[in-house]
Amino acid sequence: MSTFDYRNIPPELLEALLENPYESQILVDAQGIVRYMSPAYKAFYRLSQVDAIGRPLLELIPHSKVPRVLETGNAEIGRLFRMGDKERIIARIPLRDGNGNIVGAVGKLMFWDPEKVKELVRQVEVLQSRLNYYEKELKEVYRRRYSLEGVVGESALIQEAKQVAIQAAASDLPVLIIGETGTGKEVFAHAVHQLSSRRERPLVHVNCAAIPNELFESELFGYEAGAFTGASPKGKPGKFELAVKSTIFLDEVGELPLSVQAKLLRVIQDRELERVGGTRTLNLDFRVIAATNRDLKAMLSWGKFRQDLYYRLNIFLLKTPPLRQMRSDIPRLAFHFLSFTRDRFRPHSIDPRAMQWLMAYDWPGNVRELRNALELASSLAGDGPILEEHLPMEIRNSEGMTAVFDGVPCSLKEEIASAERRALRRALSLSGGNRTEAARLLGIHRTGLYQKMKRHGLDAGAEI
Q: Which residues pair with 249 in a beta bridge?
A: 205, 289
What's residue 410's pLDDT? 54
Contact (CB, 8 A) for 367 and 183: yes
> Strands 204-207, 246-251: parallel, antiparallel or unpaired by DSSP?
parallel
One digit per residue, the tens of pLDDT, for the chain of length 464 reads 456 677 788 888 887 877 776 677 889 999 999 998 887 776 666 677 777 889 898 988 888 888 999 999 999 887 777 766 667 778 899 999 888 899 999 988 776 555 666 666 667 766 776 776 666 666 665 555 667 877 888 899 999 999 999 999 999 999 999 999 999 999 999 999 999 999 888 889 999 989 988 888 888 998 887 677 666 767 888 899 989 999 999 999 999 999 899 999 999 999 998 888 887 888 999 999 999 999 999 999 999 999 999 999 999 999 999 999 999 999 999 998 888 765 555 656 899 889 989 988 889 899 999 999 998 998 888 878 899 889 998 888 755 454 443 444 555 666 677 678 778 877 887 777 788 888 888 889 888 888 888 877 665 443 33
The sheet carrying 102-111 orders its strands as: 34-37, 25-29, 102-111, 86-96, 76-83
Q: Which residues pair with 96 in a beta bridge?
A: 102
Say if domain 6-112 classifies as CATH 3.30.870.10. no
Task: Mention every residue, 6+ apart, whose C-beta is less than 8 A from residue 238.
Answer: 218, 219, 220, 221, 222, 223, 273, 275
Say if domain 147-321 classifies as CATH 3.40.50.300. yes
What's residue 405's pLDDT? 39
Q: How many CB atoms lie within 10 A of CB 33?
A: 15
- Residue 14's identity, in one-letter code, is L
Contact (CB, 8 A) for 66 and 35: no
Could you state, in order of their start, the residue ranges of all structural domains in the chain? Answer: 6-112, 147-321, 325-455
Contact (CB, 8 A) for 281 and 274: yes
**CATH for 325-455?**
1.10.8.60
Q: Please report the DSSP string for 144-159 in residue order.
A: HHHSGGGS---SHHHH
**Alpha-carbon gap, residue 244 to 225, rounded angstroms:** 21
What's residue 302's pLDDT? 92
Contact (CB, 8 A) for 296 and 153: no
